[in-house]
Amino acid sequence: MKLKNYLLGKWIEPSGEGIPQYHAITGEMIALCGSEGIDFAEMMEYGRKTGGPALRKMTFQERGLMLKNLALYLSEIKEKYYPLSYMTGATRTDSWFDIDGGIGNLFSYSSLRRKFPDSTFYVDGDNIPLGKGGTFMGQHIMTPKRGVAIHINAFNFPIWGMLEKIAVNFLAGMPAVVKPAKQTSFLAQAMAEDIVASGILPPGAFQLVCGAGRGILDKLESQDVVTFTGSAFVGKMLKASPAVIENSVPFNMEADSLNAAVLGPDAVPGTPEFDLFIKEVRKEITLKAGQRCTAIRRVLIPENLVEDVQLALAKQLKQTVLGDPNNETVRMGALVSRDQVEEVRNRIRELTRGSEIVYGDPLNFEVVGGDKGKGAFFGPVVLYNKDPFRNQETHNIEAFGPVTTLVPYRNLDEAIELANMGKGSLVCTLVSNDEKIVREYTLGAAPYHGRIHILNGACAKESTGHGSPLPMLTHGGPGRAGGGEEMGGMRGVMHYLQRTAVQGHPDMITAVTNVYQYGARKTEKLIHPFQQHFEDLEIGETLITAKHTVTETDIINFANVSGDNFYAHVDATALDGTIFERRVAHGYWILSKAAGLFVDARKGPVLLNYGIDECRFTKPVYPGMTIGVRLTVKEKVTQEQKDENDIPKGIVKWLVDVYDETGETVALVTILTMVKRRP
């Protein structure tokens, strides 16, 4: 059977003989994959001209709901992917990380829509005054790139690798071309068929190439984006592609790295931290049979605890049953292929030039429910490098399987230096309950690591573990790890957006951003804004309120009601040496009084006060001063209806400008209200 590729809105069988894919447990052939006959230029143009415009017409809210619908759809049918995942050598637990973890990324990025506006683009940061008269300003905006996101994924997580990347580019408004690794693309293709069949994504938003994909980067343009996950060698080769260099195409590389786990000097046998350390290292050796870019390759231990760690780890590994994932006693599956078995053996031979094997045997191990001669099985192997500063193979060679090396250190400075000798890692774990050790190690190792996982007894129950990248945190690392960042919440979305500085009069910047800019033209209506529905309110619409002259009684009464008896408000004799001339009004009284001036008490479309985004008190307010409010519609964000009984509504952001009798601003606040939409 040949796997079909999905391009130009159709499933197309590749020409040529195809590349065989083998069952990791039985060694039987599963399918043939290939990319021969694909016109990549035509494929990219279809994404740019068809998928891109459709996604860019959608707002962040609509794109987020699209992700939610896709996640719900895949959740309903996810069990169908598990039998296919077992064919890659993965156990049920391994497959959960891949399948459920991937779908979880869709849910996470769907929820992230709430941090974005109800708009097709994003207004980035505060406006920047560029002239003294307030007639010239700057603002950054971020718009979706007009190209295609090309994702070249690794073999170890064919579903997670696909979903965690497309979740981000879809929320940003870019179409995707996904190229899973040829060894396991049959699993990605199975889910891709369901994604396409769901009809949830617009045409051209998603395309799939299951084969080698040679030439896929040849027709890149400046608006395209490339992400790569895999070996540093291949990543560097692709990053040097002429089209990438010529067009300055953003290339995000997440490469396998020599990640470390560090046992703190305080985490001695008998402490919860020592037991957690052994458990974490054992898990990272056996999970996915060690085929994870985040797996622990170097285990850094105080030199006086090496024997304790070696014995405890060996005891744990002996309890790990290796074999066919369909056998309920099995806790560790196979490598992805027989070729990978030979690759890992070769890397172990290189590692043993400076280290000795202290647990396991690359050739002799027991397999339950499977045939060691046909399947891609490989038992756990632990090495020991007694002189890690001289024998540097440990810091340069990675065996991409269930292999790790014990590395002794004499003090914390050495531990930091050894961890950093990995020349850039995706992640390291420090297990310690000593705050001083944690701080010193973290600050020393941070420049060489994309993520630092600090583990102790207090967080163990909730910790997601050393090897689990999370959607809202960046996944990547410097140097050998590729120098890129994936996911990272809003940061990840920005990778697919172009940041542009826009300069001009506040009226023009308001028109561009659809967010009121201070100093822009205001409009007034006869009807109070609190009596208008969400749709009727206009950006820049302003209410000028009545005014109020501040009295000492106001200040005293607010102190009594609030319990805020700070000396500057209640003790006029204590102001020597302060910035205040006399008793000063509470900032929160000013805010409360402002609300009293601009709120319309009658029942209307305003449902509730939703909160405060920003609040600045810019000038002291003393008794005898007169204040008024300019209440302006700043921004509007539509909210989805959860069900047919949910009230249709949106969030309105208001700029509350409180000013005194001289016209000078004394407080500037952004408040939010929930306002009814018309049925």
Catalytic center residues: 254, 293
Q: 10 Å Cβ neighbour count for 382?
A: 22
> At 163, phi and psi to the nearest 5?
-70, -35
Contact 184/158 with Cβ under 8 angstroms? yes
Q: Which helix (H) or strand (E) holds 452?
A: strand 452-455
Compute and round to an integer the Cα radius of gyration of the chain. Answer: 30
- In terms of DSSP bridges, do strands 176-179 and 149-152 run parallel, antiparallel, or are they unpaired? parallel
Both tokens of residue 516?
């009121």
Dihedral angle of Cα 407, 411, 417, 421, to the nearest 10 degrees: 0
Burial 232-265 (b: 16+ CB within 10 A, else e): beebeebbebeebeeeebbbbbbbbbbbbbbbbb
Q: Hunting for tokens 């607010």 — which residue is that?
A: 558
Do residues 104 and 206 make contact, with C-beta atoms less than 8 angstroms apart?
no
3-class state of residue 76 by DSSP: helix
- Closest by CA to 471, choosing from 141, 115, 202, is 115
Contact present, 554 and 626 (Cβ < 8 Å): no
- CB atoms inside a 10 Å sphere around CB 464: 11
Backbone angles phi, psi at 380, to 5 degrees: -60, 140
Rounded to the nearest 5 percent, the helix, strand and coil shares of the chain are 35, 25, 40
Q: First vs last Cα of the chain: how many Å apart?
A: 53
What's the DSSP call for residue 303?
G
